[in-house]
Chains A and B, each alone.
Chain A
Amino acid sequence: MGRTCPLNGLIVDSARQPARKSPAAESPASAARRRFINGVAAAAGGGCLLALGAGLYSRSASALLAQALRPPGALAEDDFLAACVRCGLCVRDCPYHILKLADLGEPVSTGTPYFTARQLPCEMCEDIPCVKACPTGALDRALTDINQARMGLAALVDHESCLNFLGLRCDVCYRVCPAIDKAITLETQHNPRSDRHAMLLPTVHSDACTGCGKCEKSCVLPEAAIKVLPRKLVQGALPAHYRKGWEEKARHGGSLIGEQVELPVRGFEGSTAGRSATETVVAPVVPAPSAAPSAASVPSPKEASGGLRRGLDSHWKP
């Protein structure tokens, strides 16, 4: 047996090479050792590769977690993914069949429970059976009052199509809210478009919203203007060191930094209520007594009595 050396073209007689033994000449123990090492290397490589793949997939899948609303009492998402064994006992004990287990490929970690507010919102059972069913504590039994649940946070995300923002009185999200007047309030604002109506703007308060999803479910629009999303997606946070001056002032009965010199703000004298952003702010003009009242300014009893109100405040009365 001879082979041509690739470097110098010499015929190398492998039989004369003492360093390299042919497989037949190898001792059985050495062959077994080589087989073992090869086997272990292949197994280790394959096994680690598979585990790594699974780990990476779990990472990329959880990067997409986003819209999933967890059952009440669910731990923070990272802890939840450590604790939830995907058994579906919460799904079984939900009397309204709201919860589902995610399937592979859905943008929710495989097998974990979630609900879709727009389809079926949480009914907020007082005895919270889903939490009681959880064997691992992924749903924390420390939650005993369903009103303290924080499944997500409602956000009126679309101001352009919300009927109340258009000046209508829809109010449906407000009316269906289980924590009406606490989690959602209607805030009255002047309607600059009609200039004579109020807008009652549904406003969500994060300290009371459980994220049950009733508002999103019942939004009358084809696509809900109010949506419930995981708190992490919706909620901002002030820096921890921020203090609200007016709150501190009220708490301490006066400003903490003493009285400040108040500088006049030019151009903003008088009422600013109802002023739209596009309005050119002008200083109030005292009309000459001789001038005829303009078409825009409707005289009101107040004006007649000497008070002066101009701009968008039209004093319209039904």
Chain B
Amino acid sequence: MARLPVSSSDSSVPRSLWQRQRWLVLRRLSQALVLLAFLSGPWFGLWIAKGNLSSSLTLGVLPLTDPLLALQTLLTGHLPYSAALTGAAIVLGFYLLVGGRVFCGWVCPVNVVTDTAAWTRRRLGIKTGRVPDAATRYWLLGGILVAAAVAGRLAWEWVNPVSLLHRGLIFGMGGGLFVIAGIFVYDVLVASRGWCGHLCPMGAFYGLLGRTALLRVSAAKRSACDDCMDCFAVCPEPQVIRPALKAVGQAGPLILSSDCTTCGRCIDVCDKQVFKMTHRFDQRSE
């Protein structure tokens, strides 16, 4: 990771590599395991999950469906079978409980691409480009819902990079790679965190589910913050940190913004160990 020079002199105990990469490794593991659950069947004949993130059947009993896709289907005027609706309800309930954008950080395969893009951008020191407004994603979300209703078909699914990549990884892909490469280049050259943080309507949708998230990051030891800005540099949604870290507009140390993907990267990079993964009701701060 690109790290801004840390000016702290009263350094605490040097942290191990594991401590500095823990949440990133766990997250990548989670993303890989989700993928592996779908790939163990075609690869080893061991069927755990069939289908893809759009809709799947796990161990032959558990249906899971992307609730945004189910919503679009309903808007086209088609009433899906109960399997899809049940699956959507389960996923919806899970992310309402855990936190919507946990999907983005822990499941979505595009996250690996855009994280790499952000890392590349930091390493190359690219500052140019124009970042679209963060609200663009909500307009796009509205746009795809209207498109589904007006066109009477799942219009967004023709180009949706998230399902494109996940489906492609499982079922094979060719042309879809260009879209993913496009997102990478866009994120590196044009807009920092442009896709996931500003455009992706799926991220916007799951963000809307995050208002009651139980799993949250807390700036519990915020008094120890030495303003090194490492967390801001690495955070995919940097605006979420300030209210908790600097007590702007809120008293507690919890990062409550539904934009937070709960990726925990701030925990990794903070040498002062200001942040910790906790639950919504943990208001303690030292």
Which residues of A are in contact with B by a Cβ distance under 8 Å?
39-40, 42-44, 46-48, 50-55, 57-59, 61-62, 78-79, 81-89, 91-93, 100-101, 103-106, 109-111, 133-137, 141
Contacts and interface: CB of A to CB of B under 8 A. Distances in A.
Given A48-B139, A50-B143, A136 B81 contact: yes
Nearest to B147: A55
Contacts of A101: 167, 171
Contacts of B87: 135
Contacts of B146: 51
Contacts of A109: 157-158
Contact of B50 (A40, A50, A92): A92
A54 B144 contact: yes
Given A85-B69, A91-B171, A58 B153 contact: yes
B240 interface: no
Contacts, number: 184
B73 interface: yes
B179 interface: yes
A46 B136 contact: yes
B205 interface: no
B56 interface: yes
B173 interface: yes
Contact residues of B: prevailing secondary structure: helix
B65 interface: yes
Interface in B128-150: 132-144, 146-148, 150
A134 to B, nearest CB: 7
A103 B170 CA distance: 12
Nearest to A57: B158
Contacts of B70: 85
B157 A43 contact: no
Contact residues of A: prevailing secondary structure: helix
B176 A82 contact: no
A142 to B, nearest CB: 12
Nearest to A84: B154
B164 interface: yes
Given A39-B133, A39-B135, A51-B147, A104 B171 contact: no
Interface residues of B, number: 63
A48 B140 CA distance: 6
B66 to A, nearest CB: 7
Contacts of B50: 88-89, 92-93, 133
Contacts of A57: 158-159
Interface string B104-143: 0000000000000000000000000000111111111111
Given A51-B147, A111-B164, A85 B54 contact: yes
Contact of A51 (B132, B140, B174): B140
Nearest to B135: A43
Given A47-B143, A85-B154, A135-B63, 8 more contacts: A46-B136, A46-B140, A83-B80, A84-B154, A88-B171, A93-B50, A136-B73, A136-B81
A60 B174 CA distance: 19
B138 A47 contact: yes
Contacts of B170: 88
B90 to A, nearest CB: 12
Nearest to B139: A47
Contact of B132 (A43, A79, A141): A43
Contacts of A141: 81
B163 interface: yes
7 contacts: A82-B148, A86-B52, A88-B167, A89-B51, A103-B174, A104-B164, A137-B79
Contact of A103 (B52, B56, B63, B176): B176
A214 to B, nearest CB: 25
A55 B167 contact: no
Interface string B61-88: 0010110011001001111110110010
A111 B81 contact: no
A303 B153 CA distance: 70
A109 B151 CA distance: 14
A44 B140 CA distance: 8
A86 B77 contact: no
Given A54-B147, A87-B56, A92-B50, A82 B142 contact: no
Given A82-B78, A103-B172, A110-B159, A87 B54 contact: yes
Given A55-B155, A88-B171, A104-B159, A79 B140 contact: no
